[in-house]
């Protein structure tokens, strides 16, 4: 059954982002082998009109690569509560990260740095996405934004002009396309400021997107 639900997700997904096989260094633990198997079948892909982005594994490519994206020297350094062994393997359209670890799949909210349990394994993750892809991936707003603006480019996500955590609306007018690495840098600064402020204190958005 687990293989069938993942196959169903792949049937409605894009062609692989990378033609090469995934690099095995990311998959040395037993709990990470299902991800290696998924990427062996399709090495990175988009689904639900680009609302879901699964990172490819490789040594070269234009898309965020699994290895670079999970570097401890990158944006992850700003999220100390994220398990150092966990793998951020996919993101929804709002840059929320899907994270695989020995505990299963969790979701990182980059605005707040909260890591919340999501599903027991990759098959359960895929089943949840297929059952409610608008909620799980942001598909509805992704579709509306792309119809009124333009298709998202590979590596782009939708970031709120006014952050959701600060009362921003889940509306097309509040969203702008931002490259994933830049988005995580913005969110890392925001979440760090929120953590440093006492509850109820004002948060500045200096350097935020226009």
What DSSP assignment string belongs to 101-136? ETTEEEEEETTTTEEEEEESSHHHHHHHHHHSHHHH
Neighbouring CB atoms inside 10 A of 60's CB total 7
What is the enclosing helix (H) or strand (E) of 46? strand 45-47
What pLDDT is attached to residue 209?
Answer: 84
Segment 131-147 shows an average pLDDT of 98
Structure tokens at 87: 């793998």
Where along the chain do its domains lie?
A: 2-196
What is the pTM for the complete model shown?
Answer: 0.94
The band of 2, judged by pLDDT with boundaries at 50, 70 and 90, is low
The band of 145, judged by pLDDT with boundaries at 50, 70 and 90, is very high
Q: Looking at the predicted structure, is the pLDDT value of residue 1 above 80?
A: no
What pLDDT is attached to residue 124?
Answer: 97
- Alpha-carbon distance of 151 to 159, in angstroms, equals 15
Better pLDDT: 202 or 109 = 109
What pLDDT is attached to residue 201?
Answer: 72
Segment 9-14 shows an average pLDDT of 97
Average pLDDT, the chain: 92
Q: What is the pLDDT of residues 24-37, one digit of tens each?
A: 878 888 899 999 99
Better pLDDT: 61 or 54 = 54
Residues 120, 111: contact at Cβ < 8 Å? no
Q: Looking at the predicted structure, is the pLDDT value of residue 210 above 70?
A: no
């Amino acid at each position: 059954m687990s293989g069938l639900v993942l196959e169903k997700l792949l049937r409605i997904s894009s062609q692989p982002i990378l033609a090469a096989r995934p690099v095995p260094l990311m998959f040395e633990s037993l709990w990470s082998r299902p991800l290696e198997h998924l990427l062996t079948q399709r090495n990175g892909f988009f689904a639900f009109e680009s609302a879901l982005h699964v990172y490819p594994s490789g040594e070269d490519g234009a898309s965020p690569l699994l290895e670079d994206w999970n570097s401890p020297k990158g944006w992850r350094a700003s999220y100390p509560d994220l398990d150092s062994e966990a793998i951020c393997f996919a993101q929804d359209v709002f840059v929320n990260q899907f994270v695989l670890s020995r505990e299963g799949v969790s979701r990182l909210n980059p605005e707040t740095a909260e890591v919340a349990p999501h599903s027991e394994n990759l098959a359960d993750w895929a089943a949840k996405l297929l059952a409610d892809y608008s909620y799980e991936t942001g598909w509805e707003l992704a579709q509306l934004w792309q119809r009124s603006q333009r298709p998202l480019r590979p590596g782009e996500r939708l970031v709120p002009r006014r952050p959701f955590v600060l009362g921003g609306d889940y509306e097309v007018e509040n969203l702008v396309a931002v490259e994933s690495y830049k988005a995580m840098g913005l969110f890392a600064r925001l979440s760090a400021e929120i953590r440093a402020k006492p509850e109820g204190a004002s948060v500045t958005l200096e350097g935020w997107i226009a």
